[in-house]
C-alpha cells in the first residue's frame, strides 16, 4: 500500500469493540442492547448487530485454502462452478427424452429424471430415456418412488454396455432407505435387506467411480419445518449411520463415502443457508476422517441443493420466483456442487414450459451475468458469514452428538427423538407465521387483494399433501408440508364460498385523527384481505352516523373503526351501537380503554400482536364460511 495511504490510516486510531458498543448503547438512549439489537435465531444462538476481525481469532479453519481439508472453503481450488440441474418427471420415456434433449441445448448441465409411479425400469427403458444423450458431457440423476435399486442396477448395466469411458460418467441415484424409513415408518423387508442392497449397489457400480448410489435426503427435514442447524445435524447423523452400518458389514469407508450424495433444501434464510453448506462440509470431513479413510479426498461432501417447498405458496405464486432466486444465490455462494431451482408452480401443478424456463434461467443469470461461479468461496472474509458458519457448526454438532448418544440415527428415529425435534421447530415456525413474526409475502402479509381462485382442484392438491406413512408403520413419521397451508385453507374456503354467495366485505369506518385512521385502515385492509375478503378503504367520515350509512349502502359484513386510541373511548361505542345488528364490529388497535369497550359489548380487536390465523378462523366461523 502506498505510504501516503498508510499515513492517512494513522490519522484514525483503532476503535475497540467495547468503544463501538458504548456508542451504540448511548444512541439507544436507555433501551436494552440485547433486547433491541441482538437476534435470537431458530438455530439456537444469538446474532450480534456487528462483528469484527477479532471475533474470528478462535476459528482455526481460516488458515486453510479452498480445496483443503476440512473443506469449509469448498472442495474446488480454482472456481465456484456448479451443475445446473433440471428435473423431468418421467411419465412417457420418449417424451421425457425429448424434453431432456431440449433443455440440454438451453444451458442445463445436469438432468434429474423423477419416476413418481412404481414402475420397474429396465435397460431397454433407459435406452429410450437416454437416447442421444452423451453421458460423458452431462450429469444424470434418478429419483424413483420405488424400485430404486432396479433403476440403479439398470443404469450400471446400460453404462457398462455402452461405448463411454465409465470413469468420465457423473451420475447418482437417490437410494436412501434410512430417509424413507422416516417418511414411511417401516422397512419393507427389514434393515438387513436394505443394507445388503446398498452393498450390492456399491459393488456393482464400482467400475463407474463418479456414480453415487447412496443418498441422504436432508431436504425432507427442511421441508418438514426443521431449522437450518437441525437439517444439517440430522443429515450428518443419517450419513454417519450409513458409514457405520456399511463399514461394519465390511465395506471400505472410502467406498461408502464416495458413493454418498447429500440432497439438501435451501430456505429463505439467506446468510444462514450459505453458512450451512460451509459448516456441513467441515463437519462431514471430520466425521469421515474419524473412520480413518486411506485418503482425505474421501472426506469431501458432495452436495446437491434444491430450493425448498416449505415457504412456497399457492396464492400469488409469482412471488415464489423471488424466493427461489435468493435461495439459489445462497446455494451458489455456499458452494453447492449442483442446484435445482424448483419452478414457481411446482407445488400445485406440473411445471409448464414457461415456469421451467424461468427456473433454469435463474441459475444461468447467476453464472453468466453475476459470475457467481468465478470466485472460490465467495463468503470468505465476511466476519458475519464466518461467525455464522462456526455457530451453525457448533449447534449442529451438539445435536449430532446427542443423536449418537442415543445409539445413532435409526435408534433416535425409533425413539421418535428426530421427529419430535422437527415437530417442535415446525410448531414454533407455524406460530411465527400465525402472528406475523415470520412473513410469507402474499399469504400472511400484503396479499394480492384482487386474486381469486380459478382452479379448485389445484388448490385441493396443494393443500392436501399426501401422508406417506405406511399402514403398518412402526414409528411416527416425518411429514413434509408448507408453512402457508393454514392460511391458504382459509382463503380457499372464502373463494369456494364466494362462488355461490356474496364475497364478505370488510368496510373501513375511518374517522378522527388523519394519521392514525390511515395507518390503521391500511393495517385492517391487509388483515382481512389475507382471508380473501373484499376490503373497502375510505378517506374519512365526519360522524359515525355517516360512516354507518356508507357501510350499510356498501353491504358490509365487517365494519372496522379506524381512529386514534384517545378517540376510541367515545367513537367506538357510538359506532358499535349503530353497527352491531347489521355487521361484525371490529376495533383496529389495542387502546388503553380496551377493557371499558369490552364492558360495553365490543368483542373484536385487531392489532400487531394479534394471532392472525386464529382471529381469521374466528371471523370465518362468524360469517358461516367452512
DSSP string, 247-313: HHTT--HHHHHTTEEEEEEE-S-HHHHHHHHHHHHHHHHHHHHTT--SSGGGGPPPEEEEE-STT--
| Alpha carbons 307 and 437: distance in angstroms, whole number | 22
Instruction: Tell me the torsion sign for CA atoms 165, 170, 173, 175.
Output: positive
Q: Are 560 and 593 within 8 A, CB to CB?
A: no
pLDDT under 70: residue ranges of the chain = 1-9, 456-457, 466
Specify the domain boundaries for CATH 3.40.50.280 within the chain.
Answer: 502-623
| Alpha carbons 358 and 360: distance in angstroms, whole number | 5
The answer regarding whether domain 502-623 maps to CATH 3.40.50.150 reads no
Specify the domain boundaries for CATH 3.20.20.240 within the chain.
Answer: 61-414
What pLDDT score was predicted for residue 587? 98
Strands 171-173 and 211-212 come out as: parallel
Q: Which residues contact 105 (CB under 8 A, 6 or more apart)?
A: none
Q: What is the pTM of this model?
A: 0.94
Cell matching residue 354:
414457461
Instruction: Tell me the torsion sign for CA atoms 363, 366, 371, 377.
Output: negative
What pLDDT score was predicted for residue 8? 66
3.90.550.10, 3.90.25.10, 3.40.50.720, 3.20.20.240: CATH of 61-414: 3.20.20.240
Provide the 8-state DSSP code for 169: -
CA 486 to chain CA centroid, nearest Å: 17
417-434 and 383-405 are packed helices; what angle lies between their axes, rounded to 10 degrees?
140
| Alpha carbons 601 and 616: distance in angstroms, whole number | 20
What pLDDT score was predicted for residue 468? 82
What pLDDT score was predicted for residue 9? 66
**Side by side, which strands form the sheet with 558-562?**
534-536, 505-510, 558-562, 584-588, 604-606
Listing DSSP states for 104-117 in one string gives HTTT--EEEEEE-S
Query: CB-based burial of residue 553 (10 Å sphere; 0-12 exposed, 13-18 middle, 19+ buried)?
Result: exposed
Residue 353: CB atoms within 10 Å: 9
Provide the 8-state DSSP code for 526: H
Cell matching residue 362:
435463474
CA angle 65, 69, 74 (to 5 degrees): 60
What pLDDT score was predicted for residue 467? 77
| Alpha carbons 528 and 534: distance in angstroms, whole number | 8
- The per-residue pLDDT for range 259-292, each reduced to its tens digit, is 999 999 999 999 999 999 999 999 999 999 999 9
Q: Are 518 and 490 within 8 A, CB to CB?
A: no
| Alpha carbons 251 and 200: distance in angstroms, whole number | 10
What pLDDT score was predicted for residue 146? 83
| Alpha carbons 299 and 291: distance in angstroms, whole number | 10
Torsion-angle region of residue 621: left (phi > 0), alpha (psi -120 to 50) or beta?
Answer: alpha
Amino acid at each position: 500500500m502506498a505510504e501516503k495511504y498508510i499515513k492517512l490510516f494513522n490519522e484514525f486510531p483503532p476503535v475497540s469493540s467495547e468503544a463501538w458498543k458504548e456508542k451504540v448503547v448511548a444512541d439507544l438512549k436507555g433501551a436494552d442492547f440485547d433486547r433491541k439489537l441482538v437476534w435470537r435465531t431458530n438455530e439456537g444462538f444469538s446474532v450480534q448487530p456487528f462483528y469484527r476481525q477479532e471475533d474470528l481469532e478462535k476459528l482455526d479453519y481460516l488458515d486453510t485454502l479452498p480445496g483443503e481439508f476440512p473443506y469449509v472453503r469448498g472442495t474446488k481450488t480454482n472456481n465456484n462452478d456448479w451443475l445446473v440441474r433440471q428435473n423431468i418427471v418421467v411419465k412417457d420415456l420418449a417424451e421425457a427424452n425429448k424434453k431432456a434433449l431440449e433443455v440440454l441445448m438451453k444451458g442445463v448441465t445436469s438432468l434429474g429424471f423423477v419416476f413418481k409411479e412404481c414402475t420397474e425400469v429396465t435397460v431397454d427403458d433407459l435406452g429410450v430415456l437416454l437416447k442421444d444423450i452423451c453421458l460423458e458431457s452431462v450429469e444424470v440423476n434418478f429419483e424413483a418412488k420405488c424400485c430404486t435399486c432396479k433403476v440403479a442396477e439398470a443404469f450400471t448395466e446400460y453404462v457398462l454396455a455402452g461405448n463411454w469411458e465409465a470413469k468420465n460418467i457423473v451420475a447418482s441415484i437417490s437410494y436412501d432407505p434410512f430417509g424413507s424409513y422416516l417418511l414411511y415408518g417401516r422397512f419393507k423387508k427389514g434393515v438387513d435387506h436394505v443394507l445388503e442392497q446398498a452393498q450390492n449397489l456399491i459393488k456393482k457400480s464400482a467400475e463407474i467411480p463418479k456414480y453415487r448410489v447412496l443418498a441422504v435426503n436432508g431436504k425432507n427435514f427442511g421441508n418438514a419445518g426443521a431449522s437450518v442447524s437441525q437439517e444439517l445435524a440430522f443429515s450428518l447423523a443419517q450419513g454417519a449411520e450409513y458409514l457405520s452400518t456399511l463399514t461394519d458389514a465390511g465395506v471400505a469407508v472410502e467406498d461408502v463415502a464416495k458413493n454418498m450424495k447429500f440432497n439438501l433444501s435451501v430456505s429463505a434464510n439467506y446468510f444462514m443457508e450459505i453458512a450451512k453448506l460451509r459448516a456441513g462440509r467441515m463437519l462431514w470431513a471430520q466425521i469421515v476422517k474419524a473412520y480413518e479413510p486411506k485418503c482425505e479426498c474421501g472426506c469431501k461432501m458432495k452436495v446437491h441443493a434444491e430450493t425448498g417447498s416449505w415457504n412456497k405458496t399457492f396464492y400469488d405464486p409469482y412471488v415464489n420466483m423471488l424466493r427461489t432466486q435468493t435461495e439459489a444465490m445462497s446455494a451458489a455462494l455456499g458452494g453447492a456442487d449442483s442446484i435445482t431451482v424448483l419452478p414457481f408452480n411446482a407445488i400445485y401443478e406440473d411445471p409448464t414450459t414457461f415456469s421451467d424456463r424461468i427456473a433454469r434461467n435463474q441459475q444461468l443469470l447467476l453464472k453468466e451475468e453475476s459470475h457467481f461461479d468465478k470466485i472460490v468461496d465467495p463468503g470468505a472474509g465476511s466476519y458475519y458469514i464466518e461467525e455464522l458458519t462456526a455457530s451453525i457448526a457448533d449447534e449442529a454438532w451438539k445435536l449430532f452428538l446427542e443423536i449418537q448418544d442415543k445409539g445413532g440415527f435409526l435408534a433416535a428415529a425409533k425413539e421418535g427423538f428426530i421427529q419430535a425435534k422437527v415437530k417442535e421447530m415446525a410448531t414454533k415456525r407455524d406460530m411465527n407465521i400465525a402472528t406475523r413474526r415470520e412473513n410469507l409475502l402474499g399469504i400472511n402479509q400484503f396479499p394480492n387483494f384482487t386474486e381469486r381462485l380459478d382452479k379448485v382442484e389445484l388448490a385441493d392438491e396443494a393443500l392436501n399433501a399426501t401422508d406417506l406413512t405406511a399402514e403398518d408403520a412402526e414409528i411416527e413419521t416425518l411429514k413434509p408440508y408448507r408453512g402457508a397451508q393454514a392460511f391458504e385453507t382459509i382463503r380457499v374456503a372464502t373463494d369456494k364460498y364466494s362462488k355461490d354467495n356474496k364475497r364478505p366485505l370488510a368496510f373501513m369506518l375511518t374517522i378522527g385523527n388523519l394519521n392514525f385512521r390511515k395507518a390503521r385502515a391500511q393495517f385492517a385492509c391487509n388483515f382481512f384481505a389475507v382471508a380473501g375478503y373484499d376490503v373497502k378503504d375510505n378517506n374519512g367520515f365526519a360522524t359515525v352516523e355517516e360512516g354507518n350509512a356508507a357501510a350499510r349502502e356498501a353491504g358490509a359484513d365487517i365494519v372496522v373503526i379506524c381512529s386514534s386510541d384517545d378517540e376510541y373511548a367515545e367513537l367506538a361505542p357510538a359506532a358499535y351501537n349503530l353497527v352491531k345488528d347489521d355487521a361484525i364490529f371490529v376495533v383496529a388497535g389495542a387502546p388503553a380503554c380496551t377493557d371499558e369497550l369490552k364492558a360495553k359489548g365490543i368483542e373484536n380487536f385487531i392489532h400487531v400482536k394479534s394471532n392472525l390465523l386464529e382471529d381469521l378462523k374466528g371471523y370465518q366461523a362468524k360469517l358461516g364460511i367452512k
